[in-house]
Amino acid sequence: MNTYVVETRTRASNVTAILGTALVIALILLPLYAGRSTIQDMFFILTMLVLAQFWNLLAGYGGLVSIGQQAFVGMGAYALFGGVILAGMDPVPAILLSGVAALVIAIPTAFFAFRLQGAYFAIGTWVIAEVFRLLLAQWKTLGGGTGTSLPRSATKDMWFVDAIKTLLDVKTSAARDILAYWLALLLALATIGGIYWLLRTRRGLALAAVRDNTEAAKSVGVDADRMKWMVFLTSAFGTGLAGGLIYMQKARISPDAAFSVTDWTAYVIFIVVIGGIGTIEGPILGVLIFFALQSLLADFGSWYLLSLGVLAIAIMLIAPRGIWGLISERTGLQLFPIRRRLKGGQLDNLED
Amino acid sequence: MSILALKNVSKSFGALKVTDSASFDVPQGQALGIIGPNGAGKSTLFNLITGNLKADEGSIHFDGRDVTNVSAMERCLMGIGRSFQIPQPFEKMTVYENLLVAATHGRNQSEGQVQQACATVLEQTEMLRRANTPAGQLSLLERKRLELARAMATEPRLLLLDEIAGGLTEGECQALIQTIKDIHAQGVTIIWIEHVLHALTSVVERLLVLDFGKVIGIGDPDEIMASREVKEIYLGIDV
């Protein structure tokens, strides 16, 4: 009897594991040697990365192209403000409330949106997000259409802020940024780790099969509907957490900003598409390119948006799998390998 | 005992009746061939049996259980496997991963449990050398073999093959026939739609003729092929 074995690791992934660990340690220690503006930039990069990873999970792996992710960012943000202002919660634990609130509205959203396919699904999710924006703009206690701020008392003695002040010898405002940064780092690592774990399980296989061909997936026993629900709800929860965290750091909210389709969905799609949809590496590369472009072109007003659009179109035409897709195709490089390679048995004498 | 029984099954797309009151039984372990001109409703009949389409009327029993309202996914778990007329591989996954999805989900087992079984199916269907190739890069013959292999990975008791020999060279076709004969010899019940008649008749024990959604004949392959209706309708010969 020939024994076959299955491998997923590659030489590159072993190197990634070592370099990745070093990078994570460097990022944890970043507040020791970086200034406040770097910390704020890194916070922006990390939170956009989280949004991008979840949109990628939804669209790149689940085949669910949503333009309504701002519903979960906004709902998460408002849940945090509600928890702090109305229930007197501390903002840090209130972030969990953000995830739960997003999850709760994701259930009726999915119920309606899953009746639609393709482009109709995309538009449907956008419309539903608008409905939530209009509803929350009616909530006068949370500032109505003009929005509101987190009370000073709540932001001043947030959990961990005092500890960070003593530990790093910084002012309260800087300590708050560092706290937000560390939470964003934690969320980003948990997101990447969680998605990578998911893709390497049996469910990850099913997800890829549903993405490639839903009818064929059903014919081999995959519960396609359950996979879609799972991906949609997971993405909503993660996006809600990110939304809560982003607005905890901003400490000021308005419906138009929290439910902005440009900030929380269009930019996120841009990141995933130019980086490489359907890969974990893609959004990481994409967010770095996006940040670089934003820093370079920030002074050019509407030309900035025009250039983003032109670049996105160019990449879609030249490299439909994104920049990471191009790199990975040319070099065979995979930093987060999920491919199961069959080895051993008769394959040793066969493979060309 | 019959493993599959259809009773007055009908399906319409708009005003067009694609399956018209189809009734037949397939005994356990038999190989049944289905022939009929293009548009006779052969693939639709398959989709009704697998649950990819829902019947408007009538009932379908599999293994003694009424599966008329059971989903495609559950019918797969019960033991119905299929190939698609136009190969539908999971293109971005490798050949091995295509089988892995089918084996883990179609049989509800872990990856570790099905690993050797998947490799055995790859050996049997002569796809082992392509195990680690993305399915999107396969040739037509390889895609057809993958269809067969993926269906086999779910360990079906009833295997539905939809024009699996179409478009192949004579040599390729002979090799595929041998593989199907081997599978049949293991006791798997087979229903096979095919235009390549010599391929079909070299395997099946019974033949069913479909025209305009109606079952117009079922029985011994030689008798069916010699019958006047088949010559007229299927072969287009005016007798």
How many structural domains does chain A have? 1
Instruction: Give me the percent of chain A exceeding a pLDDT of 70.
Output: 99
Chain centroid offset of residue A170 CA: 30
Q: What is the pLDDT of residues B177-194, one digit of tens each?
A: 999 999 999 999 999 999
Q: DSSP label at A341?
A: E
Say if residues B200 and B194 touch (Cβ distance below 8 Å).
yes
Residues 174-233 of chain B whose Cβ lies under 8 A from any Cβ of chain A: none
* Residues forming a β-bridge with A4: A344
Q: Who among B50, B82, B97 is closest to A205 (CB)?
A: B97
Residues 35-74 (B) with a CB less than 8 A from some CB of A? 50, 52, 71-73
Closest alpha carbon within chain A to B88: A216
**What's the rounded Cα separation, in Å, for the pair B32 and B25?**
10
How much of chain A exceeds pLDDT 90, in percent? 77
Mutate to test the interface with B, among A8, A218, A219, A228 (most CBs of B within 10 A): A219
Least Cα separation, residue A224 to chain B (angstroms): 8
- Tell me, yes or no, whether A20 lies in a domain: yes
| pLDDT, tens digit (0-9, with 9 covering 90-100), for A8-59 | 887 778 888 899 999 999 999 999 999 999 999 999 999 999 999 999 999 9
Interchain contact, B92 vs A208, CB within 8 Å: yes
Q: Which two tokens stand for residue B172?
A: 């390729």
Neighbours of A73 (CB within 10 A): 30
- Rounded to a whole number, what is the distance in Å from the CA of A277 to chain B's nearest CA? 13
Averaged pLDDT, groups of 10, chain B, 239 residues long: 94 93 95 92 95 95 95 94 94 95 94 93 92 94 93 95 90 91 95 92 94 91 86 66
* A208 interfacial to chain B (CB closer than 8 Å): yes
Angle, CA of B49, B50 and B56, to the nearest 5°: 55
Q: How far apart are CA A305 and CA A152, in angstroms?
A: 35
**A12: containing domain:** 8-260
Q: In chain B, which segments carry CATH 3.40.50.300?
A: 2-79+156-234
> Quick one: pLDDT band at residue A348, thresholds 50, 70, 90?
confident
pLDDT tens-place string over residues A121-168: 999 999 999 999 999 999 999 999 999 999 988 888 889 999 999 999
What chain B residue is nearest to A207 in terms of C-alpha separation?
B101
Nearest C-alpha of chain B: how many angstroms from A225? 10
- CB interface of A with B, residues 79-138, below 8 Å: none
As a dihedral over the C-alpha atoms of residue A156, residue A161, residue A162, residue A166, rounded to 10 degrees, the angle is: -130
Q: Is B157 on the interface with A (CB under 8 A)?
A: no
When pLDDT is averaged across residues A253-273 and rounded to a whole number, the result is 96
Of A208, A212, A222, the CB nearest to B73: A222
Residue A294 to residue B207: CA distance in whole angstroms: 68
According to the model, what pLDDT value does residue A346 have?
85
Asked if A59 contacts A272 with a C-beta cutoff of 8 angstroms, the reply is: yes
B34–A contact, CB cutoff 8 A: no
The b/e string for A109-138 (b: 16+ C-beta within 10 A; e otherwise) is bbeebeeeeeeebbebbbebbeebbeebbe
Q: Give pLDDT tens digits for B192-236.
A: 999 888 899 999 999 999 999 999 889 999 998 888 877 777 666
Sheet with B2-13, side-by-side order of all strands = B16-27, B2-13, B57-62, B65-66
Q: What is the pLDDT of residue A157?
A: 81
Kindly state whether residue A122 falls inside one of the protein's structural domains. Answer: yes
Query: Cβ atoms within 10 A of the Cβ of A211, count?
Result: 22
For B72, the closest of A212, A218, A345 (CB atoms) is: A218
Q: Which of A220, A347, A351 sits opposite B101 (nearest CB)?
A: A220
Under 8 Å between Cβ of A26 and A38: no
**Whether pLDDT at A2 is above 70:** no
Backbone angles phi and psi of B209, in degrees to 5: -110, 130
CB pairs under 8 A between A and B: 120
The answer to whether B106 contacts chain A (CB < 8 Å) is yes
In chain B, residues with a C-beta closer than 8 Å to the C-beta of A346 are: 123, 128
Name the residue among A215, A220, A351 with its Cβ closest to that of B154: A220
Give the distance from residue B64's alpha carbon to the nearest chain A alpha carbon, in angstroms: 20
B2-79+156-234 to CATH, choices 3.20.20.100, 3.20.20.370, 3.30.2010.20, 3.40.50.300: 3.40.50.300
Task: Tell me if B136 sits within 8 A of A208, measured CB to CB.
Answer: no
Choose among B71, B88, B131: nearest Cβ to A216.
Answer: B88
What's the pLDDT at B238?
58
Q: In whole angstroms, what is the distance from residue A73 CA to residue A233 CA?
A: 13
| A90 CB-near residues (< 8 Å, 6+ apart) | A84, A154, A158, A159
Q: What is the pLDDT of residues A301-325, one digit of tens each?
A: 888 888 888 999 999 899 989 999 9
Tell me if B100 and A205 make a contact (CB, 8 A cut-off).
Answer: yes
In 3D space, the residue among B41, B55, B46, B102 whose CA is nearest the CA of residue B77 turns out to be B102
Closest by CA position to A232, among listed A215, A252, A253, A210: A210
Asked if A340's CB is within 8 angstroms of B111's CB, the reply is yes
Interface predicted TM-score (ipTM) over 0.85: yes
Helix (H) or strand (E) holding A123: helix A118-136
| A307-311: Cβ within 8 A, 24+ apart | A308/A270, A311/A274
